[in-house]
Amino acid sequence: MKSVLLLTICLILWPNFVTNATDLTVALITDEEGALQEAPLLRYRGIELNDGPDIRIVEPDTNMEHKSPIKILIQFIPREGREIDLSKFKVEYLKLITIDLTSRILPYTNKEMVKVDKAEMPRGKHKIKITIGDTQGGITRRVVELKII
């Protein structure tokens, strides 16, 4: 009886946890990481692949400048007959050294999208590589540049 009551309480409260999770501010890139030296121009050339799911950047508009915190909404569109494989999901900050951001953004990620309402980033230009795969071995890598003012 106690376990049924506990389960009922959890099911009632769960939507509040999920809703409030996106309201949190995520320190996606720290000031120290933002201050690191930029990667050489040729270092990340040609790293985009596109035989896996489509990566659609819904927000932010990568052609505009933004103030921090920014909203991030990225959709994953699987190819026909394939499923997204989140074990291949990776987000990296491209500096002189590559910084793995996956653990910071994974709590806001599912097989359909990444959704962060408030992502903190320092001022500057930030190149971020997103990798996602599917169950058939397809991989898509996309590099986006975000401008924070």
Closest to 28 in 3D by CA, of 131, 128, 142, 112: 128
Predicted pLDDT at 25: 84
- Identify the structural domains of the chain with CATH numbers, from first to last: 25-148 (2.60.40.10)
What is d(CA 92, CA 99) in angstroms, rounded to the nearest whole number? Answer: 6
Predicted pLDDT at 40: 77
Predicted pLDDT at 1: 56
Collapse the DSSP code of 61 into the 3-class scheme (helix H, G, I; strand E, B; otherwise coil) and give the result: coil
Predicted pLDDT at 42: 61
Predicted pLDDT at 8: 44
Predicted pLDDT at 20: 43
Torsion from C-alpha of 116, 119, 124, 128, nearest 10 degrees: -40
Predicted pLDDT at 5: 45
pTM of the model: 0.79
What stretches in the chain show pLDDT beneath 70? 1-23, 41-48
